[in-house]
Amino acid sequence: MAGPGRTTPAGDATYRELVRPLLLPSWLVIGILMVLPVALMAVYSFLTREFRGGVIWEFTLAAYDQFFFDRGLFGDEPPRIEWTYITIFWRSIWQAGLATLMCLVIGFPTAWFIATRPARTRGIWLFLITIPYWVNLLIRTVSLRFLLRDTGPMNGALQSLGLIDAPLPIINTNLAVQIGLFYSYLPFMVLPIYAAVERYNFALSEAAADLYASRWATLREIVLPVVKPGIVAGCILVFIPSLGAFLAPDLLGGAKTFMIGSLIDEQFRGSQGNWPFGAAAAMILMTLVLFVLLIYARAQGRAPR
């Protein structure tokens, strides 16, 4: 990745001065079409709901209040904690965390295996891992739904093999959503770990073996700590999109697997929508993500090397 730290001083100062204004278009486009909208979204989260969608320009904390507190049907009871939305957020974190764990358990051995192939075949393995990432996420998720259905090919195959009597009820469960998230973002786990293992100095493993460490002790004591930056990067790259995912929970899950993405989406659909509430939920999600990124950045700053 092109980190911000590297500079290649090319020629004279005039040249450097000359190319700097080339940043202007990206500043303008991202500034107007992304930074400004996010700022506006923050403002909207403090506005009053318009019932046909949209907002009334009156400032209020109603959206956040609705998110965290229950004041009864008519809003006149003493506030109690509203668990509905907190539960949805908590479930999203939990689901994203489990999906990240699944990706790690499968992704690390895969990345290690590929990185230890001879240079000749490594490219082909890596290519095989990346292809599915390039296939439309919607198509992949639909395909997974098709495969996992009660009457789908997987249950069909298992039944005809006599391994199960009745179809495994996977679709519309938490497990289906986890599998979907795992399936969606697995390459994001493999690639950074692969990059870290490729840079790994295998003499360290030999040194550990030489100093009486078994294969698994070497993995635990040396390999994992040394390639940790790659593992953490992989976990972040899987966890963040999983947290705000929409397609996997929507297409593979059911009512009980409702996640943040669907909650926010609902607020902007038709007359049932509530824009300030949707904006507030999006703000809370973004805060959560920025929090994770901040911890990551600080951990990176403290890391040796």
Partner 1 sequence: MTDAVDLRGVVKRYGTVTALHGVTLSIADNEFFTLLGPSGCGKTTLLRLIAGFEDISEGEIRLFGHDIARLEPNQRPVNTVFQNYALFPHMSVLDNVAFGLKMKGVDPAARRARAGRMLEMVHLSAFAERLPAQLSGGQQQRVALARALAPEPKVLLLDEPLSALDLKLRQAMRVELKQLQEETGITFIFVTHDQEEALTMSDRIAVMSAGRVQQIGTAREIYEAPVNRFVADFIGETNLLEVEVASVSDGRATVILPGGARITCPSSSMTGGRHHLSIRPERLTISDRAELMANVERVVYLGTDLQVIAHLDGGQPITLRLQNAARTSLPEPGQRIGLHLEEGGARLLAD
Partner 2 sequence: MKGVRHYPGFLALTILCLAVLYAPLIVVAIYSFNASTSITSWGGFSLRWYGEVFTGREAARFGQAAWNSITIALIASTVATVIATAAALAMVRGGAFRGRQASFALINLPLMVPEIVIAVATLIFFSAIGLTMGYLTILLAHITFCIPFAYLPIAARLEGIEATYEQAARDLYATRAQAFRLILLPLMMPGIVSGWLLAFIISLDDFIITNFVKGAGMETLPTAIFGSVKQGIKPNIMALSTLMLLVSVLFVTAAYLINRKGRQTP
Residues 200-219, interacting with partner 1 (CB under 8 A): 201, 203-204, 206-214, 217
The token duo for 261 is 């993405």
Return all residues near 228 (Cβ < 8 A) that are at least 6 apart.
303
Structure tokens at 162: 């006599």
Decide if residue 128 touches partner 2 (CB under 8 A). Answer: yes
Which H or E element spans position 210?
Answer: helix 203-210
- Nearest to partner 2 of 87, 130 (CB atom): 130
In the complex, what is the shortest distance from the CB of residue 299 to partner 1, in angstroms, rounded to a whole number?
13
Residues 6+ apart with CB under 8 A from 131: none
CB of 6 to partner 1, least distance (A): 20
Q: Site residues for partner 2, window 247-276 (CB under 8 A)?
A: 247, 251, 260-261, 264-265, 268, 275
Residue of 290, 257, 288 lying closest to 67 (CA atoms): 288
174-233 residues near partner 2, rule: CB under 8 A: 182-183, 186-187, 190, 202, 205-206, 208-209, 215, 218-219
Residue 170, C-beta contacts closer than 8 angstroms, at least 6 positions apart: 148, 176, 179
Q: Which does 225 bind (CB under 5 to 8 A by kind): partner 1, partner 2, none?
A: partner 1
Q: Which of residues 133-152 bind partner 2 (CB under 8 A)?
A: 134-140, 142-147, 151-152
Residue in 65, 70, 221, 265 binding partner 1, rule: CB under 8 A: 221
Is 109 a residue that touches partner 2 (CB under 8 A)?
yes
Nearer to partner 1, 21 or 118 (CB): 118
Residue 30 binds partner 2, judged by CB under 8 A: yes
Binding partner of residue 160 among partner 1, partner 2, none, CB under 5 to 8 Å per kind?
A: none
Residue 21 interaction partner, one of partner 2, partner 1, none, beta carbon < 5-8 Å per kind: partner 2
DSSP string, 133-166: HHS-HHHHHHHHHHHHSTTSHHHHHHHHTTS-SS
CB of 202 to partner 1, least distance (A): 9
Please report how the helices 119-134 and 174-199 are oriented relative to each other, as an axis angle in degrees rounded to 10.
Answer: 150
CA distance 300 to 302: 5
Strand, coil or helix: 71 = coil
Using CB under 8 A, count the residues that bind partner 2.
102
Contact indicator for 53, 268 with CB cutoff of 8 Å: yes
- What SS3 class is residue 215? helix
68 binds partner 2 (CB under 8 A): no
166 lies in the site for partner 2, by CB under 8 A: no
Judged by CB under 8 A, the number of residues near partner 1 is 20
Residues of span 145-204 touching partner 1 by CB under 8 A: 201, 203-204
Q: How many residues does the chain have?
A: 305
Nearest to 249 by CA among 304, 172, 146, 139: 172
The residue from 72, 79, 123, 169 that contacts partner 2 (CB under 8 A) is 123
> Whose Cβ is closer to partner 2: residue 75's or residue 156's?
156
Least distance CB 208 / partner 1 (angstroms): 7
7: region left, alpha or beta (phi > 0 left; psi from -120 to 50 alpha): beta
Binding site residues, partner 1, CB under 8 A: 201, 203-204, 206-214, 217, 221-222, 225-226, 228, 304-305
